[in-house]
A and B are shown apart, each in its own frame.
Chain A
Amino acid sequence: MAVNEASAVQSRRTLISVISFFAVFIALMTIALFNAPTMGGPRVMASVDTYLAEVRRSGLAFLGVVALLAIVLGLTVARMVYREWPNPKRRTNLIMGYLFLSPYLLITLTFTVGVVLAALYISFNSYDIFTPPQWAGLANYARAFQEKDFLQALHNVLWYSLIVVPIQTTLAILLAVLLNTPVRFRQFFRTVFYAPSVTSSVVITLIFMWFYLRTGYANFFISNFFGIFGVEWQNINWLGDPRGLIQLIVQAFGGDIPSGQWYLRGPSIAWMAIMFQNIFTTAPTFMIMFLAALQDVNPTLYEAASIDGANGWHKFWKITLPLLRPIILLVVVLGTIGTLQIFDQVYLATKGGPLGTSLTPVYIIYREALGAEGPIQMGYASALAFLLAVLIFFFTFLQRRFISQETQLY
């Protein structure tokens, strides 16, 4: 009798684990079918049959990869269910747990994981979304390093991070230290300092585009400033000026750098104008993070230092900065990742110009994917996106490597 009961439980567990295996498999394959890299024109979407025919024609390799993943995941789930099922309490916990997680899991599997797999597949194809993808191998990746645009975009964002990240981090620390001194209305000042960071980058960019006009405030302030010393200032069109920083220095000594050697010219005036604006909006964000960290610092440390006769300068260098070290690293990495992905400002203010000196990887990806200038090239755009991702992962890895427990996020 007991044996019979045990075997009945056994077979029920087996049955349920098999069912859950197929449920996971089918769910993942359905998600994959939606993500299969085909494009629904009216012709393809006419009926389920035409859609599936299109998937067979173009997305089979992708579906194969997903099927393998689905089998592995399904087996894991089946094994888990097999173990948990006999105990009613653990069974409810299992079901409730995944019910609570289901909205998150469904959306992420579709719009993040499925989509990244699809992007990986597309990046090896030449694909204009109207016709099925054509296998292209590594051609898209090779092309990225043969064309000037992407290299120039990398060159630009490298200059961008080199200049923006140190300046904005330093400013953020200084602002935070200033706000952390015993001042009244600290909340008020914090709110005012932070205001440029909460408004949309579009608003800030539009306002700065207006400042940077030939007749704008930027020229006005600088010419007034130079006027004090009696120096004449020639108004410039900030966002349309391709002259590079190094080029200007060389020109001051009478030389010049030809446009063929754009990589030697340094960041252009237009690009540096965008940098200035970006520092303006990001420094307060990071100030908030530093301020939060500073308020966790034990005040007795400073008191002890005061008793030992340390002045404010010593306290800053010997206590504040070492304590802020992990957050400085975090801010540097977050800042670098952010600067690598800059898009809004470029799209609005310069569209990559003048002479490509403000091209960025994300802007090129957008341009190629939507065919803003020339044909739609989803495959090439995806390949660029993955190259950018590799760069970003590299920085994230560095951060993981150097910051241990204190900051887990990102």
Chain B
Amino acid sequence: MAVRTQTLEGVATPQPPKPVSHYVSSFLRYLLLCVIGLVLFMPFILAALGTFKADSEIIRFPPTFFPAEWQVQNWARVWNTDLGAGGTFPRWLFNTAFLSVTVATLQVIFCSMAAYAFARMQFPGRDAVFSFMLATMMIPAAVTMIPAYVLITKLRLINTFWSLILPGAVSAGSIFLLTQFFKAIPKDLEEAAFIDGASHSEIYRNVILPLARPALLTVFILQFQAMWNNFLQPLLYLNTPDKYVLNVALSIFQQQFKSQWNLTLVGAMFNAIPILILFFIFSKYYVEGVAYTGVKG
């Protein structure tokens, strides 16, 4: 549409009046979009309302939509729950946030370094290593799970945050995304810098990194979210309450408070709200990253 209005610029073509059917169909379309949006968002709405229900109301049939009595103190109850050995929600929130930020930051640094080598340097063996990287992407996580657990136990990293930070510090997917992005950056700037005698590390720091900020942010957000939502690895590697991340803690919390679903749902909200806020702020980068890693190449 935008293209056409541009070409017709200045030529004042009188728009023919639109038929009624046009308005009906666009009204139906918006209605459909709103209904789908509501359906897809419904679990969050119902869960959020559920957090305010009383213990007896949450498992009563038929379920209510709005709480009969707003039990705001549920949130404080969960926030102050102590599972012993330092297992509290503030602690788990901190653990999860710390791990997510650390892993995402390391990924940005290490993956951009590797991507720079793949995209911008000429050295023997580069293409072989790149193909090797693409091959490792096909190894399913289920295969590495058991021996990685043995190895991490043996390195005495079990039940430390290193067990998640070290293996998580690089990923082939991020390197692939950044390599594609770096390749698209024009070479002129860099060649000028080379003539001035700049080294590779200077060009990486001063030319490529500033230009690649959107891609770096995309990697950061994708990896932050991946670590935040990671369940299997923290479940394997971290096994005392003070080390749990939110996902693992939630599964244990649910087993302890089996019928008190209102409390479990509050816990789920603690997990969901930060990532949803982050997603709403950065959704552009996020969506581009998902589309890019999957489709382009």
Residues of chain A having any CB pair with chain B under 8 Å: 34-35, 37-40, 45, 76-77, 80, 83-84, 90, 92-94, 96-98, 100-101, 103-105, 107-108, 110-116, 118-119, 122, 129, 175, 178-179, 181-183, 187, 189-196, 198-204, 206-211, 213-217, 219-220, 223, 235, 280, 284-285, 288-289, 291-293, 299, 327, 330-331, 334, 337, 341, 343-344, 347-348, 361-362, 365-366, 369-370, 378, 381-382, 385-386, 388-389, 392-393, 396, 406-410
Contacts and interface: CB of A to CB of B under 8 A. Distances in A.
A392 B246 CA distance: 30
B144 A80 contact: no
B198 interface: no
**Considering the complex of A and B, which 4 residue pairs feature the smallest CB-CB distances, nearest first?**
A292-B291, A97-B123, A215-B61, A100-B117
Contacts of B192: none
A410 B137 contact: yes
Most buried by A among B46, B129, B138, B146: B146
A332 to B, nearest CB: 12
B77 to A, nearest CB: 17
A122 B41 CA distance: 45
B151 interface: yes
B116 interface: yes
Given A80-B124, A111-B151, A191 B279 contact: yes
Contacts of A103: 110, 113-114, 169-170
B247 A392 contact: no
Given A366-B145, A378-B146, A392-B140, A94 B123 contact: yes
25 contacts: A39-B150, A40-B154, A96-B200, A100-B113, A103-B170, A118-B150, A178-B32, A183-B30, A192-B41, A196-B44, A200-B247, A202-B247, A202-B251, A203-B268, A215-B61, A220-B63, A280-B43, A288-B290, A365-B145, A366-B145, A369-B145, A369-B146, A381-B146, A385-B145, A393-B138
Contact of A337 (B140, B148, B170, B290): B140
Contacts of A101: 113-114, 117, 129
Interface stretch (B66-74, B86-94, B212-220, B226-234): B226-234
A216 B271 contact: no
B170 A108 contact: yes
Contacts of A198: 225, 275-276, 279, 286
B121 to A, nearest CB: 5
Given A100-B117, A104-B110, A191-B283, A299 B295 contact: no
B236 A116 contact: no
Contact of A389 (B63, B143, B268, B272): B143
Contacts of B43: 196, 204, 207-208, 211, 280
A100 B122 CA distance: 12
A38 B297 CA distance: 41
A118 to B, nearest CB: 4
Nearest to A406: B297
B156 A45 contact: yes
B232 A366 contact: yes
Contacts, number: 307
Contacts of A386: 143
Nearest to A396: B138
B166 interface: yes
A108 B168 CA distance: 10
B231 A195 contact: no
Most buried by A among B26, B33, B201: B33
A406 B286 CA distance: 22
A200 B50 contact: no
B218 to A, nearest CB: 13
Contact of B294 (A100, A182, A334): A334
Given A94-B123, A196-B43, A122 B147 contact: yes
A381 B148 CA distance: 13
A39 B231 CA distance: 24
A344 B232 contact: yes
Interface of B: 1, 3, 26, 29-30, 32-33, 36-37, 40-41, 43-44, 46-47, 50, 59-63, 110-111, 113-114, 116-117, 121-126, 129, 133-134, 136-151, 153-156, 166-167, 169-170, 172-173, 175-176, 199-201, 204, 225, 228-229, 231-232, 235-236, 246-247, 250-251, 254, 261, 264-265, 268, 271-272, 275-276, 279-280, 283-284, 286-288, 290-297
B145 A38 contact: no
A284 B59 contact: no
Contact of A289 (B124, B139, B280, B294): B294
Most buried by A among B140, B151, B166, B283: B140
Most buried by A among B33, B62, B63, B295: B295
A305 B125 CA distance: 49
Contacts of A40: 153-154, 156
Contact of A105 (B37, B40, B129, B228): B129
A359 to B, nearest CB: 14
Given A39-B153, A208-B43, A104 B145 contact: no
B140 A39 contact: no
Nearest to B124: A80
A196 B235 CA distance: 22
Contact of A80 (B61, B125, B251): B125
A382 B151 contact: no
A107 B106 CA distance: 12
A200 B265 CA distance: 13
A329 B43 CA distance: 30
A104 B109 CA distance: 10
Contacts of A409: 137, 173, 176, 293-294, 297
A210 B47 contact: yes
Nearest to A408: B297
Contacts of B147: 35, 37, 115-116, 118-119, 122, 382
A116 B37 CA distance: 43
B166 A407 contact: no
Contacts of B117: 96-98, 100-101
